[in-house]
A and B are shown apart, each in its own frame.
Chain A
Amino acid sequence: EVQLVESGGGLVQPGGSLKLSCAASGFTFSGSGMHWVRQASGKGLEWVGRIKSKVNNYAIAYIASVEGRFTVSRDDSKNTAYLQMNSLKIEDTAVYYCVALVAATGQLYWGQGTLVTVSS
């Protein structure tokens, strides 16, 4: 059974930091691109960033609004992806989902999400 379990969300003040983790199981993590998508309350889905697999040189990309503040990473030995979020802004408040894109099959697996609230 495929599972993606996010953790690390919580309440943080503007300017603060959080590190989200995404623990994966049930599929070939090392062969998958790992993405982060967020959704503010009552809003649509917004892609945040991704890190590709080793065979794709761990290529990284972000949306412009988080460039320089957020960092995606992965540890294939632990089947875990991370999203380090610094200099958080109120507008970063959202549920953050990790998403695995299995390149070989085109399937996309989603976690249950973790809530990040940026507020003073």
Chain B
Amino acid sequence: DIVMTQSPDSLAASLGERATINCKSSQSVLYSPNNKNYLAWYQQKPGQPPKLLIYWASTRESGVPDRFSGSGSGTDFTLTISSLQAEDVAVYYCHHYYTTPITFGQGTRLEIK
């Protein structure tokens, strides 16, 4: 199974600051025939389902603010929030969908400092 490891486990940043969350997979999730990384990022707030932010590692879902961006390839990925807003307080998850079983990172809790 592919193991997904996020860092840090929790993060506190000030309003307007940049926040960065990392996700590392134990093997590559880059599918060579289409050159796509099968990696997604989600935001989850209490009592709500996960909200898709980024898919294919760097494609922002429609309606997601452009302060959210995804980068990386192969085994190392990053979610960046360029200017933290109060409504960004949540738990963030990455997961691969390269093969089964699909596996998730353990989550990163983002708070306002």
Pair from one complex: yes
Interface residues of A (CB under 8 A from B): 35, 37, 44-47, 50, 61, 63, 97, 101, 106-113
Q: Is the interface of B mostly helix, strand, loop or mixed?
A: loop
**Interface pick from B17-25, B69-77, B78-86, B97-105:** B97-105
Chain A residues with CB under 8 A of B56? 106
Q: Can you list, as one digit per residue, whether each of B91-113 has a CB less than 8 Å from chain A (1) or not (0)?
A: 00101010011111111000000
Task: Tell me if A50 and B100 are in contact (CB < 8 A).
Answer: yes
Question: Which residue of chain B lies nearest to A43 when distances are taken between CB atoms in the complex?
Answer: B107
Q: B63 to nearest A CB, angstroms?
A: 11
Pick 13 A–B contacts, CB within 8 A, sort by A: A35-B102, A45-B50, A45-B95, A45-B107, A47-B95, A47-B102, A47-B104, A50-B102, A106-B59, A108-B52, A109-B52, A110-B50, A112-B49
Chain B contacts for A47, CB-based, 8 A: 95, 100-104
Contact surface of B with A, Cβ cutoff 8 Å: 36, 38, 40, 49-52, 55-56, 59, 61, 93, 95, 97, 100-107
Complex Cα–Cα for A37 and B61 (A)? 20
Secondary structure of the A contact surface, majority rule = strand
For A112, what are the chain B residues with a Cβ–Cβ distance below 8 Å?
Answer: 49
Which one, A50, A107, A113, contacts B61 given CB within 8 A? Answer: A107
Interface centre among A45, A46, A97 (most CB of B within 10 A): A45
Q: Is the CB of A61 within 8 A of B101?
A: yes
Closest Cβ of chain B to A55, distance in Å, is 16
Contact A107 B55, beta carbon cutoff 8 Å: yes
CA–CA, A46 and B49, complex, Å: 13
Q: Whole-angstrom distance between the alpha carbons of A108 and B57 in the complex? A: 13
CA distance A9 to B55 in the complex (A): 29
A107 CB, min distance to chain B CBs, angstroms: 6
CA distance in complex: A120, B81 (Å): 45
Whether the pair A44, B104 counts as a contact (CB closer than 8 A) is yes
Q: Closest chain B residue to A42 by CB distance?
A: B46
Contact of A108 with B40 in the complex, beta carbons under 8 Å? yes
